Structure 1
Amino acid sequence: MNDRVLVVDALSAGRGQRATSRDSIGSGPRTVAGVLEKRGVSCRIHRVEDLLSNNRKMTGYDVLAVSAMTMDLAAVEQLVRTWRRQSRHGPVLVGGPIASDPLTLLREVRPDLVVIGEAELTLRELLDADALASQCNLEDVRGIAYLSPHGPKITAPRPLVPPDRLSDTVTPSTTRIVDYATYQASKVYVEVLRGCSNYRRPSMRLPNGRLCNECGNCESEDPMTRLDCPQGIPPGCGFCSVPGTWGPPRSRSVESIAREIRELVQLGVHRVVLEAPDFLDYFRAPYPLTDPCHPRANLDAIRSLLSTVTHIEEFRNGSCHLSIENIKACLLDDRVAELLSELLPGSRPNIGVETGSASHMKRIGKCGSPDDVIRAVRTAHAHGMSPFVYFIYGLPEESPESVAESVALMRQLSEAGAGRIILYGFQSLPCTAFDGFPDSNRNDPVASALRKEANRINLSKKEDYVGRLVRGIAAEPSWEHFGQTIVYGLENGPMMTVTGGFSPGTVVTVRVTSVVSPSLLAGEVIPEADTAGRH
């Protein structure tokens, strides 16, 4: 195949412009580029907003490959319309989480191909058959959807990549990281494992009429039994599609992860995040691991990974920073906290609690309890860590009582040492147990009460930064503050705005002068000569 492929990162773009996660670069588009590179296909990655604001950047490409989430449908529609006006015959592929609803994609966007689930093996088969450049029989290609002359066609699902083949199969491009304008200042996510171990399920009645019959499979000691639900309820938390789409956890080898990170930091990446639905699932138990809390985390495997990566020169000399994000509260014990504080000092892992009600937590399919989260935050804080804790408003069966419990839990977690409270609105997603429930309403008084408390806590936490010196990396001009630059803290620090123009990737020291909002600080850049011994 001699065509040039334009890989489009539309993740979190919504209607065409990212309002949040602007400092994040996910691994999906680089994974697509890696498959193309292995087959000798020329490609580049562009953000969707860059293409929509300057469609001349599409010139010279023959194939459009888009990675997006369900929330990004409007941006993908707009992109494909623009592409087809410029390149009438260039095929369009769409994949990523948005592909979990292929019929909507085919109806609204009308791409040539939808790649469902894991993309690597499907893309390889399509490239080997030259399916992107010629007409061929697609019926035998598993894991795709397309519009046939007789209507929408969804082929048989493709089996997941076996655990022992994952490290050789997942080979994201590192060279294409330079296609992102702010890559030197961004959090670059490196996939550590796929899948989730939470094979519990919601117990409430679902929109499609399904209801847990209390068969006991979700609590079975047999990991294979947990895979099966006689009622056909998707596994995991009701709002999440990870276990239903990606299955139980499958971990990449230390060697493959370290090699990818080493290449990225040599190209100028400063912030690396080890990406996983739960980092503590890393090689925790033989496949399939379907118990979210037992056995305990595999400290030997985690130590091997973190020791190898942190011994890369750029992390040893402090020019780069390594972090983890998602972990389950039930797995964070003193052993884990001690290891993380040793190898990743000052970490701020993310812990999802979603609701402060123990009964509500169980009914939505969440593992553990609010008490587990309080214990985990206290344990982390005792070892010098300040976890971020996630809540969701607008969940099914939310009540005034559960909201009151959530507000009370926010306060307890703040006092226990949580570094930030993060609040999301519930969104019904395809292939989840909660598909069909109404989305949250931001204007609902319930949402207002939770948002007010989260903002109060976060403002208080931000005020602690005033007067401190924070090492950060310049990213991009501020949207809202003319003549200022957005700076991200290098070591899990806050987002800041400073006066003046700085090139992306410039490392600066900022004295925090004020709190602008619960998520933004203002500061002034301090000359390096004035900061000796004062960090």
Structure 2
Amino acid sequence: MERIVVVDANARGKGVRYSTLDVIGIGPRIITSLLRAYGVDATLIPYEHAISTPSLIGQYDVLAISFMISDLEAVRKLIAMWKKRNGGPILLGGPGTLHPQIDLLDYDVAIIGEAEIPLITILQRYHGIKQFIESCSESDIDLPLGVKVKKRTTSTSTLAPWAPRTIIDRIKTSIPDICNYPFYWASRVYVEVVRGCSNFYRATFTNSVKCLGCGRCRKAPLSHRIACPVNIPPGCGYCNVPLLHGPPRSRNPDIIVSEVQELISLGITRIVLSAPDFLDYGRDLLVAPEPLTDPREPPPNIDYIEKLLDRVTSIDEVREGIAAISIENVKPCLVNEYVAEVLGRYLKGSVVYIGLESGSNELLHRVGRASTVEDALRAIELLKRHGLRPYVYLMHGLPSETEDDIAKTINLIDSLVKLGVEHIILYRFRPLPRSAFEAFKAPPPAIARKSTYELYIRVKEFNMSRKAELLNKVVRVVIACKHPKRRGYLVAYPLYHGPVVLIRASTTFIGAIADAKIVNVINDRLVEGKILYVRRRVRVRLARNSDLK
């Protein structure tokens, strides 16, 4: 039987992960599960384990790597080690395969876009990935859409087809390999509920063309909105999700609930129901068989959402407060009183992410956003009132952004204070391949310009003031590991999300779910806590394979 090692190199940059250390994503687990469904002996391991254990790499026939645009250097290092230790075929996947310099890597085959249909096609035609890769040198081999072969001059960069709901529902990502990740029990484990995005509006410009103003992407029949007369990619100008993953396809609630239950049985304590917009869940069913390409209409399928939330929050460990369910993002334009009430009823006390991006409606329209500033402020007010904790995204450096746009964003921060926003994430525009803004240059850091520096300082002050409000409050945390630099301290993550908590305690507390009192604010991302009471100890499981222990 063919043996494939799937390495999760997402967010590893140049080889070290500096942020979101507690995130375990979906993509690599999908690939591992799919390979096993077709008889392949596949094992998933995180990048750190692969790069630090060269002897492990030599035991496999094929190396498969999932990575992001920013991870090219980390992948190069891993490939170099593989070539030295093994030399077998290399398969690349994930958003990183869109990188314009991907051919600088010494790989064999890359899947560009969603991997399910290309992989299934290959596994149905061949006895394994290795046989397929060995056959690719023959020029008459018909390649599936989305498959790029480095050594074939006729190979293209066509995107893979969007996987239909029937395929997405077949693949469960609650695999034991999740225990191969460090402190998996304290990590945010993402469970896919919706694939794709409903925002098929367009930015009004790219670096080479301007919108015709035809209104097709906003007023035409839903199926007609997928294509643009001047080929402006769908969605927000800085995002490639609608093009890569298509309109929303909601997963079967039975599959989702089963997956959540199995992950909790493996010791997972923090589960995120993942979607570009959680409020798209079930909304696609309201317009089927048409694609859901309208980000504002129809309203959320709240009955469908409520049934899912009721089931996942009724799981014993969730009811007992030793496991937590949260959602990811919501489009502000879809939040209404009833939606906020339902989310608050099942997810009270958890974080919800809201994309505001700018205080300028003019800029939001130019970049293709579906929501206005007023939509976002109303959504924040409603969600906060019903017991959720709003985290807000702001972005600087967008193409066409003016000093006036930045000033409007700065002036909006006072409103965010009054509305009770808990945290602001300020990030810099970066051009992504296959997005409308892919050819624009990345702007300088916020501190390099007077106006954006003022925005940066205001956001930092805002976040520090919010952290100060945590002093003397009790937070339930999951204790993950020793701090790599602060001797005697352990790293803990709030069960319901929030700033990282440092705790001075014995390593025997690693794996504990505890109530901790916040005693100090270290910076805008880090606080210090003191253990008051241990609720439960997670049963830490060994990795699936004996060679990973």
Alignment TM-score, normalising by the size of structure 2: 0.91
Task: Give the drift of 1:53.
Answer: 3.6
Q: Distance in 1 between matches of 2:429 and 2:49?
A: 28
Q: Distance in 2 between matches of 1:502 and 1:213?
A: 64
Change over 3 Å in CA distance of 1:14–1:355 after alignment to 2: same
> Corresponding residue for 1:64?
63
Task: Give the drift of 1:140.
Answer: 3.1
Q: Distance in 2 between matches of 1:426 and 1:152?
A: 34
Give the length in aligned residue pairs.
Answer: 521
1:304-359, Cα deviation, whole Å (9 max, x unpaired): 11111112222122211000010000111110010011111123210111111110
Q: Distance in 1 between matches of 2:510 and 2:186?
A: 6
Q: Distance in 2 between matches of 1:528 and 1:485?
A: 15
The answer to whether the 8 A contact 1:341-1:384 is kept is: yes
For structure 1, the 5+ residue unaligned runs are 530-535
> Corresponding residue for 1:482?
487
Q: 1:161 aligns with which of 160, 163, 171?
A: 163
**Does 2:361 align with 1:339?**
no
- Matched residue of 2:60: which SS? coil
Q: Distance in 2 between matches of 1:277 and 1:241?
A: 11
Change over 3 Å in CA distance of 1:413–1:50 after alignment to 2: same
- Matched residue of 2:351: which SS? coil
For structure 2, the 5+ residue unaligned runs are 536-549
> Corresponding residue for 2:278?
279
> Corresponding residue for 2:462?
457
**Does 2:317 align with 1:314?**
yes
Deviates more, 1:47-56 or 1:61-70: 47-56
Task: Give the drift of 1:161.
Answer: 2.0
> Corresponding residue for 2:135?
136
CA-based RMSD of the aligned residues comes to 1.7
> Corresponding residue for 1:100?
98
Q: Distance in 1 between matches of 2:167 and 2:474?
A: 45
> Corresponding residue for 1:375?
378
The answer to whether the 8 A contact 1:466-1:512 is kept is: yes
> Corresponding residue for 2:530?
524
Task: Give the drift of 1:243.
Answer: 0.3
Deviates more, 1:22-31 or 1:506-515: 506-515
Q: Distance in 2 between matches of 1:51 and 1:39?
A: 24
Q: Distance in 2 between matches of 1:386 and 1:346?
A: 6
* Runs of 4+ residues deviating >4 angstroms: none
Task: Give the drift of 1:186.
Answer: 0.3
> Corresponding residue for 2:540?
none
The answer to whether the 8 A contact 2:522-2:528 is kept is: yes
Task: Give the drift of 1:502.
Answer: 4.7
Q: 2:444 aligns with which of 441, 444, 460?
A: 441
The answer to whether the 8 A contact 1:392-1:424 is kept is: yes
> Corresponding residue for 1:532?
none
Give the counterpart letter for 1:465 in structure 2.
L
Change over 3 Å in CA distance of 1:202–1:66 after alignment to 2: same
The answer to whether the 8 A contact 1:465-1:512 is kept is: yes
The answer to whether the 8 A contact 2:10-2:71 is kept is: yes
Change over 3 Å in CA distance of 1:382–1:167 after alignment to 2: same
> Corresponding residue for 2:191?
190
Q: Distance in 1 between matches of 2:91 and 2:186?
A: 29
> Corresponding residue for 2:296?
293
Deviates more, 1:32-41 or 1:133-142: 133-142
Change over 3 Å in CA distance of 1:173–1:121 after alignment to 2: farther
Q: Distance in 2 between matches of 1:504 and 1:525?
A: 12
Q: Distance in 2 between matches of 1:42 and 1:87?
A: 17
Q: Distance in 2 between matches of 1:202 and 1:214?
A: 11
The answer to whether the 8 A contact 1:477-1:486 is kept is: yes
Task: Give the drift of 1:152.
Answer: 5.9
Change over 3 Å in CA distance of 1:388–1:155 after alignment to 2: closer
Q: Distance in 2 between matches of 1:156 and 1:370?
A: 36
> Corresponding residue for 1:112?
108
Q: Distance in 2 between matches of 1:182 and 1:447?
A: 37
The answer to whether the 8 A contact 1:141-1:155 is kept is: no
Report % sequence identity. 36
Change over 3 Å in CA distance of 1:125–1:461 after alignment to 2: same
1:7-52, Cα deviation, whole Å (9 max, x unpaired): 1111111111111111110011111110122123222222223333
The answer to whether the 8 A contact 1:12-1:18 is kept is: yes
Deviates more, 1:491-500 or 1:226-235: 491-500
> Corresponding residue for 2:51?
52
The answer to whether the 8 A contact 1:387-1:419 is kept is: yes
Give the counterpart letter for 1:160 in structure 2.
W
1:46-77, Cα deviation, whole Å (9 max, x unpaired): 22233334433323122111111111111111
Q: 1:302 aligns with which of 305, 325, 336?
A: 305
Give the counterpart letter for 1:14 in structure 2.
G
- Matched residue of 2:258: which SS? helix
Give the counterpart letter for 2:211 in structure 1.
C
